[in-house]
Chain A
C-alpha cells in the first residue's frame, strides 16, 4: 500500500510541475466556466441588434413608434438618412435599417380598413438569424399601439369615428358590413362601464388582451439560479477530460522512456503500478472538482442543492474518467498516437455530451447520441446535485453509468497494457 502511495505522490508531483498540464486541467476549465457563465448571465455587454432608422413620415405617430422601439431591450437605434443607412448595412456596420414610410403615423391611427402602417426593412444577408428577433420586436411595438386603442375608450371612440367617416367613400357592400360592425362597437364602447372584466385599471378602460402577473421565483430550485450553475459543471468536465488525457499520455510515456521497466523490476506488482496511476488520476480529478466548485460557490453564487449528491457526482466522475484514462492509454503505442486519439475521443465525447454547448440547444438526434458519452452523464450528475434537485435514486443512473464506464476502461487498460 505504501508503494502505491509513493506512486500516487510521484504522479501528482509530476503533474504539478508540468505548467502546460496545470493550465489545461485547472486554469482553462475555470476560464471556460467564468467566460461562458458571464456571457450567458448577461454580466458583460449584452448583445444588441444595431439598427439604422429613417423617419420619412415625421409625424407624432412615427416619433411615438420610434420612441417605444428604442425602449425595447436588444435594439440599438441610430437615426440617419436613407442613403447613409443603406451604406452602413451594406458595409456590415449595421444589422438592418428601418424606414418608416410616409403615411406611417396616419395608418397607425386607422383600424379595420385601408392600408396598414408600412415599414421598409433593409437586411444584411449574413445576419438573417437576427431578423426573426427583429420582426418580433417590431410587431410587439406595433401591437402596443393597437393595445392602447383598445384600452383607452376615448381614443377608441375617436378612431371609430374617423373610420366611419372614411367608410363613406368605400364600396356599398363594405359600407354595409363594416358599418354594421362599427355601429355595434360604438354602442359597446358607449355602454361599457369602466372596470368591466378584462379591462385595464386607472384611466385606461376597455378590454386588455392579456394580463401578465410577475412573480419572483428566486427561492424555487426548479432550474439553475444563474448561468454559472450550467457553465461550472461544463468547466469541471473540461478539467476532468484534460486530466484523463494527461494521465493517459503519461502512462505511455512511462513505457516509452523506460521508467516503467524500472518500476516493473521493483518489488511491487503490476496491479500496484496501475492502481497507483489510476489513484493519482482520481486524486487529481477530485482536486480539480473541489477547486472549481469552491470558486463557483464563493464567487459565482453556485449553490448545490445537495452537498452529499455533489460529492457522489464528483467521486463517480473521478472514478469513471480515471478508468476511461486507463482504457485510452492502450489505444496507441506512442505518446503522440495516444495523445491524438485521446483528445479526439474526449473532444467528441465533450461535444456530444454537452461539454461544449448545453444539451438543450442541440438537435434531437444529438441529444439521443449524447447517451453514449460519459461527459453527458457526468454533467447530468453534477447538474442533478447543483440545480436539478435530483433525489438519491435519480442520482444513481448517471453515477452508475460513470462507474460502469470506469470499470470497463480499467479492465480494458489492465488487460491490454503491454509489458515493457
Chain B
C-alpha cells in the first residue's frame, strides 16, 4: 500500500532520515518505533507529502506520490498534536475537516455521525472541543482523520497523554479499522501498544531502519531467550533458556523448587537492544 524507497531528509547539518526503505502492506497495522528524534515524524510527514524528501521516493500503491489532491483523499492523518479547534464543537470540527475532502450534504452528515460514534463522542458532539478532556480530544483527533473514509491512516502517537479508558477505546478502534480492511501506519513510544496491535514493526534510530519484521520474529531475533525465575533453597535463581519447562524439571531434580515463573522477552527488550539505553533528548 505504501512504499518508501531510500528516503533521505536533511535539516541543515542534521540528517533526520537517512536511506530509509520499507513497505506497508494493504490491510495491516505497521508500527514505526524509535526513540525521540529517530525520524519517525519526519518519515510520516514525507509519507503524507507534507515534506519533500531530498532523495528517494514515496508511493501509495495504485495512486502515486501523495502530493496530489486525488491521492490525499485516500489518506488520513491523526497528528501527534491535538489538531482540532477549541472554539468549534466536536461535530463542527469533524464536519469542517471532512468538507475539505469534498464531502457534502447528507453524505457529510452521515460520515460525521459515524466518526463521532466510532470514537465514542456522539453524545458530546455539540460541546465545544475546548471543553473536552485530553482523552476526548485525542478521540476527536482520530475522528477527524477518519470521517472522509481514507484507505490508509497515519496515526502519530495517537494515545499520548490519555487515560487508560480512552487509550483502550482508541486501541480497540484501531483494531476495528484493520478488520474493515484499512491500512494503518502507527508511530508510538508505547511498546505494549505495538505488541498488542501491530502486524509488523519497523524500529528506526538516527533516521535509519534498524529492524523490520513481525513482533514475534523481532523478539526471537533480538530479545534473547525467555528467563525462568525460580526459588531454590530460599534463593532466587534466574536462568535464560529456550526450554523453560525442561530447565524447571532439571532444577527440581537437584533440589526442592519453590514458586517459579517465566519472563517472556518483550518488544521493549528488542527496542533497547537495538537502540541502546542511552538517554535521548
Q: Check A259 against B84 for contact (C-beta < 8 Å).
A: yes
Binary interface profile of A, 34-72, with partner B (CB < 8 Å = 1, else 0)? 000000000000000000000000000000000000000
| Other A-B pairs, 8, CB within 8 Å; known A265-B49, A268-B69 | A10-B88, A14-B88, A17-B87, A257-B82, A262-B97, A265-B50, A265-B75, A268-B100
Chain B residues closer than 8 Å to A265, beta-carbon distance: 48-50, 72, 75, 77
Chain B residues closer than 8 Å to A2, beta-carbon distance: 99, 102, 104
Q: Check B87 against A266 for contact (C-beta < 8 Å).
A: no
Q: Check A258 against B100 for contact (C-beta < 8 Å).
A: no
Q: Check A13 against B88 for contact (C-beta < 8 Å).
A: yes
Does A420 interact with chain B (Cβ within 8 Å)?
yes
Q: Which residue of B lies closest to A7 (CB)?
A: B100
Does A18 interact with chain B (Cβ within 8 Å)?
yes
Q: Check A258 against B88 for contact (C-beta < 8 Å).
A: no
Chain B residues closer than 8 Å to A267, beta-carbon distance: 68-70, 72-73, 100-102
Q: Check B87 against A13 for contact (C-beta < 8 Å).
A: yes
Q: List 14 A-B contacts (CB under 8 A).
A: A6-B96, A14-B88, A257-B81, A258-B81, A258-B82, A259-B83, A261-B77, A262-B77, A262-B97, A265-B50, A266-B72, A267-B69, A267-B101, A419-B51
Binary interface profile of A, 7-33, with partner B (CB < 8 Å = 1, else 0)? 100100110011000000000000000
CA distance A268 to B75 in the complex (A): 13
CA distance A419 to B87 in the complex (A): 24
Binary interface profile of A, 255-274, with partner B (CB < 8 Å = 1, else 0)? 00111011111111100000
> With contacts A3-B99, A6-B99, A267-B72 known, is A261 near B87, CB below 8 A?
no
Q: Check A262 against B87 for contact (C-beta < 8 Å).
A: no
Does B22 interact with chain A (Cβ within 8 Å)?
no
Chain A residues closer than 8 Å to B100, beta-carbon distance: 3, 6-7, 263, 266-268
Q: What's the least CB distance linking A22 to chain B, in Å? A: 12
Q: Check A10 against B96 for contact (C-beta < 8 Å).
A: yes
**Interface hub of B68, B82, B100, B104 (most chain A Cβ within 10 A):** B100
Q: Check B83 against A258 for contact (C-beta < 8 Å).
A: yes
Does B115 interact with chain A (Cβ within 8 Å)?
no
Q: Which residue of A lies closest to B96 (CB)?
A: A10
Chain A residues closer than 8 Å to B70, beta-carbon distance: 267
Chain B residues closer than 8 Å to A269, beta-carbon distance: 69
CA distance A257 to B79 in the complex (A): 10
Chain A residues closer than 8 Å to B16, beta-carbon distance: none
Chain B contacts with A in 104-159, Cβ cutoff 8 A: 104, 128, 144
Does B85 interact with chain A (Cβ within 8 Å)?
yes
Chain A residues closer than 8 Å to B79, beta-carbon distance: 258, 261-262
Q: Check A266 against B101 for contact (C-beta < 8 Å).
A: yes
Chain B residues closer than 8 Å to A14, beta-carbon distance: 85, 87-88
Q: What's the least CB distance linking A320 to chain B, in Å? A: 27
Q: What's the least CB distance linking A166 to chain B, in Å? A: 87
> With contacts A257-B83, A259-B85 known, is A419 near B101, CB below 8 A?
no
Does B92 interact with chain A (Cβ within 8 Å)?
yes
Chain B residues closer than 8 Å to A17, beta-carbon distance: 87-88, 128
Chain B contacts with A in 38-60, Cβ cutoff 8 A: 45, 48-51
> With contacts A6-B99, A419-B50 known, is A13 near B92, CB below 8 A?
yes
Q: Check A261 against B83 for contact (C-beta < 8 Å).
A: yes
Q: Which residue of B lies closest to A269 (CB)?
A: B69
Q: Check B81 against A266 for contact (C-beta < 8 Å).
A: no
CA distance A7 to B100 in the complex (A): 8
CA distance A117 to B75 in the complex (A): 95
Pick from B50, B75, B85, B101: contact of A10, CB below 8 A.
B85
Chain B residues closer than 8 Å to A419, beta-carbon distance: 50-51
Q: What's the least CB distance linking A263 to chain B, in Å? A: 7
CA distance A17 to B87 in the complex (A): 6
Pick from A3, A18, A263: contact of B87, CB below 8 A.
A18
Chain B residues closer than 8 Å to A268, beta-carbon distance: 69, 100
Chain A residues closer than 8 Å to B101, beta-carbon distance: 266-267
Chain B contacts with A in 147-190, Cβ cutoff 8 A: none
Chain A residues closer than 8 Å to B48, beta-carbon distance: 265
Q: Which residue of B lies closest to A21 (CB)?
A: B87
Chain A residues closer than 8 Å to B97, beta-carbon distance: 262, 266
CA distance A17 to B92 in the complex (A): 13
CA distance A258 to B156 in the complex (A): 12
CA distance A147 to B227 in the complex (A): 120
Q: What's the least CB distance linking A10 to chain B, in Å? A: 5
Chain A residues closer than 8 Å to B50, beta-carbon distance: 261, 264-265, 419-420
Q: Which 8 A-B pairs have the closest CB atoms?
A: A258-B81, A267-B69, A258-B83, A266-B100, A267-B72, A262-B83, A14-B87, A17-B87
CA distance A268 to B99 in the complex (A): 11
Chain A contacts with B in 381-420, Cβ cutoff 8 A: 419-420
Chain A residues closer than 8 Å to B77, beta-carbon distance: 261-262, 265
CA distance A420 to B72 in the complex (A): 17
Chain A contacts with B in 98-116, Cβ cutoff 8 A: none
Q: What's the least CB distance linking A271 to chain B, in Å? A: 13
